[in-house]
Structure 1
Amino acid sequence: MNTLPDIEFSEELIRRFDKLGPRYTSYPTADRFHEQFTEQTYIPYLAQRNTAGRTNPPLSIYVHLPFCESLCYFCACNKIITQDHSRVTEYLRYLSKEMAMVAAQIGPDRRTAQLHFGGGTPTFLTPDELRELMAMLRSHFEFLPDAEMGIEIDPRTVSDDTMAMLGELGFNRTSFGVQDFDPAVQQAVNRVQPFEMVEKAVSASRKAGFESINADLIYGLPKQSMESFNRTLDRVIELSPERIALYNYAHLPSRFKAQRLIVEADLPSAELRLQIFLMSVRRLLDAGYIYIGLDHFAKPEDELNRARLDKSLHRNFQGYTTRADCDLIGFGVSAIGKVGNSYSQSVRTVKGYYTFLDSNRLPIEKGFSLSADDVLRRQVIMELMCSGPVDFAAINKAHGINFGLYFAEELSQLKLYEEAELIKVDAHSIQVTPKGRMFVRAVAMVFDKYLMQQTSAKYSKLI
């Protein structure tokens, strides 16, 4: 057992409680979205923001930019592999139309606290195209002075000038896809980016004034070993990003065609994958990073850790965030939104996206309208995902229930986790313990009423 402040973990507990389950970036989870939720279902939720006398939460905006120059074999994102940069011009034109249509529905209150560009590869766009996109956004939305503005970056696609330009546009957060620095692993997944290339991009980010830099790592990739990933951790710790995300590679070649190019015989065994994970957690904690939750680590002074400590941590489709609950507007193919008590997702293909907008329709493919029970369970699950506490009195007041009666069956099911000292349950609350912080997904699953219903989703392992 390795015990550090706010987290305890043991190999025995991981072996006992590791299982398949949702990541709960939403509740209900995205695999429950359905096609009966259409543009006509979505528009009234947008229009609610245009109701006189209504106090609206600020907006969070996500823009999906699907283009990539080359294929990373491990990737499960919605992307378009192309060398034809002219395709961006048409895509931006349709994004502009979608933004105008949404802005007309939500009315004048367009205060925006958060922006994120994801992909694909956002830096596939040229500097002029990125400037055009930001001008479009600013023409429709009012960005707050302290808005959190993030962009995902492929180090292979940027220069010092690009990073400086992004800083001038207002971006203050960036995330680099590192994955692994070992040359053999990089070759095996078709993402070759030497340490020096990433180091240069990180240095340019700091010079451009970016307040927070995140590095994504993936364990479980082909040709990884304890020794090779230990060397990768050496280099990442040397880069000293404010945040690190340590993801478990999910090999699903039947679902993601790109993964069929990975040689399965080169994948580490389940046992080796577990040992790499345990070693990685110890190394990051020993290097001074704080465990935030799930796959995320941050430096003690980072605002994510401050939010964890003062219980203001939140969770949405971008992961953990310090921002209070926002209405999330997604733009572009496959983008997900959360407005009021609804979730929505746009069509996955560019052709379908253009067809909808050519018909003056918002490109909604599916979504979900939450019931009162869904909203209640979402609050419980999200509080657990952010390590609680789940305060019964506060929930009773907000939802007009008696927690003990309403969730009597769930409280009974929690006894397994209580006996393992992963949580503490008393007459007033559920509190996740330091030992239980790695298992919050398992605890949250107890409150997920949809898990008993069949779904096509293939969930990842908890660890």
Structure 2
Amino acid sequence: MSDQAHLTIVSDKNAGTHAQVLSSKYDVAGPRYTSYPTAPHFSVDFGCNEYRQELIKQRGSSIAPLSLYVHIPFCKNICYYCACNKIVTRDSTVSRRYLNYLNKEIAMQAELAGQARPVTQLHFGGGTPTFLNDAELTELMHHLGQHFKLSDSPDREYSIEIDPRTVNKDRLALLKGLGFNRLSFGVQDFDPEVQTAINRCQSFNMLLSLTNAARLYQFKSVSYDLIYGLPKQNLQSLTNTLEQVLELAPDRITFYNYAHLPARFSSQRAIDRHTLPSTGQRLEMLALIADVLTTAGYVYIGMDHFVKPNDELAIAQQEGRLQRNFQGYSTCLAPDLIGLGVSSISSLRHSYAQNEKDLERYYEQLDNNRLAISRGLRLSHDDEVRRHIISELICNLNLDIKQVEQHFQLCFFEYFANILETLKTYQKDGLILMESDKIRVTLEGRSMLRNICMTFDRYLSSDAQPRYSNTL
């Protein structure tokens, strides 16, 4: 790499002081807003019967597209940082039983949702979806195709999360043949010491080989998921990781903030908290990430996401039509997302529903010929107002106040009179620009998007926030 392209840590004392002030002010616990209201506010009062009624009510009048999410909970190895719903096992036969139940749920959900609706978005997550062997992956896609109308449009988004240690070039070829056109590799960090500290060792050459194969097979997009704030991570090690990421040049990069919640996630107890970067160091890391990636030409679309300027997500954001759900940012979001598998969440136009988190309870519900819904929520008018506002800010970094007033028949500055002073503080701190008919998120405000959205969240209270990770 040339001296000109070599990455350096830029030190600006004034900017650093301002960043430290913001970090102390805004580093609080808060949601990531993959939904609003967020999952902790779902209730057992909304169960299987309520979910069925919602889908049946929509089925007769809707031929709108569908999104599908399929959760595969199994992993062969434990990654200490992980906060996903997972089951760590070396027993490869557990997937056979799981597939049998998943196939049953697929048939039941398809009957309710409507089998003629095209599936424009499909995402396999986990756990490790590639815990399934080639025959099982093929069977699952075949079963989905039997019961849902899987799209063959080049505009579809069919993605799968991949632990690089579980695939080779031949498996990537199989995934392309099964219809997937987007891959998301879990990279986390390239530094060997950091990888050892989180029990996730994988080489740069492994990612190089898989990324080259993905391009050879003409996957539409290759994404890397990374994490900052990990144990043993520092600015220099992160700089080295960023150099290697840029050498591989993925289409999309997601840099999540590590949430250390050992009381909730037992695997995180293996991490020595004394090796974790401080809040100030994490903010410096985020500033470094944003500076390096934007200087390299990536667009910072917000909420930890960076994409190449010609990427569909960047174009959609410029045009004000970017969308977001539990699967992340999207350009072809369907009005209804059907979650399949243990712990998965369905998002309908006016409600949310989550499956049982416990695997045996999930099996038991399906044995009784019931969908495995354990809890959910039907949105109120106020929920829909606030969901729209939070979505616009997260996705398009811009809120059209007049459009909100016309669509929901309200006066914005009266409806949100209690938060106007907070919004003025955000403007003073340089996070937003507030006009009579617009709220725009600034470049600096993109790092504080969760905080800005929290202002519109009526569910938050001081005793509820500890269930979330810190925003910075």
Q: Same fold (TM over 0.5)?
A: yes
- Aligned Cα RMSD in Å? 1.9
Q: CA deviation at 1:18?
A: 3.4
Choose from 92, 95, 107 the match for 1:100.
Answer: 107
Q: What is the match of residue 442 of structure 2?
A: 433
Q: What is the match of residue 225 of structure 2?
A: 216
Instruction: Describe the superposition over 1:47-70 as per-residue Cα deviations: whole angstroms up to 9, x where unpaired.
Output: 12322xx24531110000011111
Which amino acid is 2:218 matched to?
G
* Equivalences for residues 9-408 of structure 1 within 5 A: 12-51=21-60, 54-144=61-151, 146-408=155-417
Give the aligned length. Answer: 456
Instruction: Describe the superposition over 1:281-328 as per-residue Cα deviations: whole angstroms up to 9, x where unpaired.
Output: 211112111101011101111111111111111111122222245311
Structure 1 residues 389-398 or 23-32, which shifts more? 389-398
Would the aligned equivalents of 1:49 and 1:107 in 2 still touch at CA under 8 Å? no
Q: What is the match of residue 6 of structure 1?
A: none
Question: Partners in 2 of 1:19 and 1:292 — Cα distance?
Answer: 22
Secondary structure of 1:393 counterpart: helix
Query: TM-score by structure 1 length?
Result: 0.94
- 5+ residue gaps in structure 2? 1-9, 13-17
Question: Partners in 1 of 2:23 and 2:313 — Cα distance?
Answer: 25
Question: Partners in 1 of 2:380 and 2:186 — Cα distance?
Answer: 37
Structure 1 residues 36-45 or 354-363, which shifts more? 36-45
Secondary structure of 2:92 counterpart: coil
Question: Partners in 1 of 2:256 and 2:199 — Cα distance?
Answer: 18
Report % sequence identity.
Answer: 48
Which amino acid is 1:101 matched to?
M
Which amino acid is 2:36 matched to?
Y
Instruction: Describe the superposition over 1:308-365 as per-residue Cα deviations: whole angstroms up to 9, x where unpaired.
Output: 1111111111222222453110000000110121111111121111100000010011
Question: Partners in 2 of 1:437 and 1:325 — Cα distance?
Answer: 25
Would the aligned equivalents of 1:20 and 1:460 in 2 still touch at CA under 8 Å? yes
Instruction: Give the direction of change, closer, same or farther, for the CA distance of 1:81–1:22 in structure 2 (3 Å limit).
Output: same
Question: Partners in 2 of 1:268 and 1:421 — Cα distance?
Answer: 26
Question: Partners in 1 of 2:161 and 2:250 — Cα distance?
Answer: 14
Which amino acid is 2:321 matched to?
S
Which amino acid is 1:362 matched to?
L
Instruction: Give the direction of change, closer, same or farther, for the CA distance of 1:2–1:149 in structure 2 (3 Å limit).
Output: farther
Question: Partners in 1 of 2:43 and 2:11 — Cα distance?
Answer: 44
Q: CA deviation at 1:107?
A: 2.8
Secondary structure of 1:234 counterpart: helix
Question: Partners in 1 of 2:439 and 2:276 — Cα distance?
Answer: 39
Structure 1 residues 222-231 or 93-102, which shifts more? 222-231
Secondary structure of 1:258 counterpart: helix
Instruction: Give the direction of change, closer, same or farther, for the CA distance of 1:272–1:222 in structure 2 (3 Å limit).
Output: same
* Equivalences for residues 412-427 of structure 1 within 5 A: 412-427=421-436
Instruction: Give the direction of change, closer, same or farther, for the CA distance of 1:2–1:151 in structure 2 (3 Å limit).
Output: farther
Question: Partners in 2 of 1:457 and 1:353 — Cα distance?
Answer: 28
User: Which stretches of structure 1, 4 residues or longer, exceed 3 Å deviation after superposition?
Assistant: 9-18
Secondary structure of 1:401 counterpart: coil
- 5+ residue gaps in structure 1? 4-8
Question: Partners in 2 of 1:351 and 1:215 — Cα distance?
Answer: 33
Secondary structure of 2:346 counterpart: strand
Question: Partners in 2 of 1:385 and 1:28 — Cα distance?
Answer: 14
Question: Partners in 1 of 2:342 and 2:466 — Cα distance?
Answer: 20
Question: Partners in 2 of 1:323 and 1:436 — Cα distance?
Answer: 26
Would the aligned equivalents of 1:45 and 1:340 in 2 still touch at CA under 8 Å? no
Question: Partners in 1 of 2:403 and 2:471 — Cα distance?
Answer: 29
Instruction: Give the direction of change, closer, same or farther, for the CA distance of 1:264–1:273 in structure 2 (3 Å limit).
Output: same
